[in-house]
Amino acid sequence: MSSSGRLPELRVDAERNRSQILEAARVAFAEQGLDVPMHEIARRAGVGVGTLYRRFPTRGALVAGAFEEKMRTYAEGVEIALSDPDPWAGFCGYVERLCLMQSADRGFSEVLTLTFPTAEVFEAARRRAYSGFKKLIARAKASGDLREDFVPEDLVMLLMANSGVLAATADTAPRMSARLVAYLLQAFAAPSRNELPAPPSPRQTYRSLLRLEEDRTQART
């Protein structure tokens, strides 16, 4: 076979390997979280570990690739919420749907509380969701339903809390997550009864997400 005929075949093989790896990673991460060994993902995908690392040089690259589609769904969920004529129902519905996505997929639950600075498509979807969520906040405050001191970083705090609850109770007390979310939504509602401590800045929140990823990476080594 000529070299010109071989090149398209190699590209097809490479793309097939990539797709198989991503699908295997999605299933494994959903079942077991993000700490699944790379050799286990390669085995599920039917490829060698070397092939996996050629397609995805780091675990972070694989995680971001595996969850790109869900991050787009995450961003699209904000747009659906913004179309709700009831600002408070749109706000609450979005938070509840997001937390349900966490409960249905262990890997996604962890991904939402991490950040991947080099994954451009993944982080672009996150920024899009963040921008839409700020609009949700503004609408709910303008309608008088959301307490005035709520800030976007409070959603990150909620997701971190829900992730911890899910990790501890998903198999033993599955309703606990929904109860936590319901409690917190009541706490977010106006009028507020008590003043809150000052919120973290966006930079502090971002640094916290980076630290979570660094801690996870160190725990694996």
Instruction: Give all domains of the chain, ordered by start, each with its CATH number.
Output: 3-58 (1.10.10.60), 67-220 (1.10.357)
pLDDT score for 43: 96
CB 146 within 8 A of CB 189: yes
**How many distinct helices (H) and strands (E) make up the chain?**
11, 0
- Look up residue 206 and give its amino acid: Y
pLDDT score for 215: 67
DSSP 144: T
pLDDT score for 11: 76
pLDDT score for 8: 65
Average pLDDT over the chain reads 88
pLDDT score for 208: 77
Residue 218 and residue 23: Cα distance in Å, rounded?
26
Structure tokens at 33: 């979280």
C-alpha triplet 178, 34, 220: angle, nearest 5°: 130
Question: Environment class of residue 2 by beta-carbon count within 10 Å: exposed (0-12), middle (13-18) or buried (19+)?
Answer: exposed
pLDDT score for 198: 86
pLDDT < 50 positions in the chain: 1-2
pLDDT score for 1: 47
pTM across the whole model: 0.80
